[in-house]
Structure 1
Amino acid sequence: MRKLIEFIRSIYVVVLFVVLEAAAIGYYAHSSSYTQARLLARSNQVIGGVHGFFAGIRRYLFLGRENRALAQRVASLEEQLAQYQEAETAARLDSYMQNIGESKYRFATAAVVGNTLNRMQNLITLNRGRKDGIEEEMAVLAPDGSMVGYVVACTERYAVAMSVLNTSFRTSGKIVDTDYSGSIYWDGKDPNTVILGELSKYAEPQPGQEVVTAGLSQYFPADVLIGWVESAELNETKTSYTVRVRLAAEMSRLNEVILVADRDRYEIRELQQSDQVEQHTRVN
């Protein structure tokens, strides 16, 4: 009991102060409507601050979940955007061909979904396949009509083309407005240039001259733009030129392509392989 009395004596001043303060605040609060309004506004401000503090803590604790939900939403929107962009690309590419009438060539369009540039055997993957009318041996052109490659394999939904930047690529080419043709191939060095080899010495190529397809290949129509003469040199025997041609197609920025099929190529091939032709080519 003595200790309790001593404890009360040690804190009675503080207790008395708190009681008097509470009485003073109570008296002040009820002294007028103005003071009541001020105290109510201040108490609401304090309570609001406390609630805001704890709300901020709750938001922080659930921030990871909100970020995951936001990331899922962004991924969904990105997928929708990709679908819209693909549809827009297909519509734009198809519009390139709307005014082309019936001819010996059949046209289709596709978007590039894969394109290698840093290998010796570069390939281009397209987002259309057999169900879209794409087939092997179709020529692949850039949107401006310049040469890019030709299709070598197809599935129902996709196709793979051999890029002009492939050391196995071969087609025929010539200097525009001349009758001298040679073989177009890539030597694996510069991804911006190809070689026009075995060109007659009488062609006399000059820098800046346009190089086009000769129409002797089963893949490309005649006069498809390949590029421009960059340099030329005669071989050791002085019988033909090796011409370096700067490509017209920007292979590193290839997003959309036009595909061309010769409607007559199967008929021509069947005729060339017919028994009648073999009779005249058989060695006696």
Structure 2
Amino acid sequence: MAVTAGQLSDNDILYGYLPEYLDGELPSTIAPKYEQLLQTAGKESVLEEFQSLRGRLQLSMQSYYLRDREQSELAALVQDPRVKATVENVKIAELERGVAVSTMVRRVAMVVFVVGLGVAAYWQFGKTSDNTFKPLEYLGYEALALEEASRERLNLPSHETKEVSQYLANYPGLDFKPRMLRNVPASWELEGATVIDYEVAKVVVVMYDHRTSKNNEKIIHFSFAGRLSDLPRSEPGNMRGLIYQTYASNDQNMIAWQSAPNVVSMLVGRRSADELAEIAVAGHNN
């Protein structure tokens, strides 16, 4: 038997309809009562706690998947004997081919070794280093390090937007104009900025700290010269006109977007990708 909203307690309504409220899908029949309940319970604290927990849940769920080996072991439990025999025959044939070519491999090994020495010498002495900037790898690590020791890694610890903006505008050697997120939600406080000078790229870093977070939650805004198409392709998102790409690790969510014709911005934190996109959109409405 279906349960109507009238049969639910105030607590059930408040927490049971939170996802619909945040996604703008709250039924109109309970909207007035829901707003009243939310205000009574403390709207800001309830929403902040729920969003933080939802982001952490999404990150945790991403670590639960089956590797190829585990999938193969599961398949073996239900595999038809004829199919299994066919697979084994294929493996035997592959092994025979491997033995057949091993003799040829040994014969050319010396030639390959000599060629390898020549190539190594060319790359070492005849060609300059071809290091490439890998934003996802580099900046994912930097975000974790900044979370752990922000004060030690920020060149300019400051809560003043104007001071940080002037510091970045006057930083020597930047080949792009960094853009700050100016209108971030009031629950986030500017903590400071720095510039990471890699051999192949300079990266502007601006950090924000959550004012009421119990676990020292932060978001980090990275900016660097480049194009969004240089990053690995991912499923694109669209938050009120802001086109972005989403990435994730076991610890963080990341969104990246083209903040200027030759500038890529990346926002990294433990909130969900949609929440990071909301912050990015608010920060650009200045």
TM bucket, shorter chain = under 0.3
Larger helix proportion of the pair: 2
TM-score if structure 1 supplies the norm length?
Answer: 0.19
Larger strand proportion of the pair: 1
Bigger radius of gyration = 1
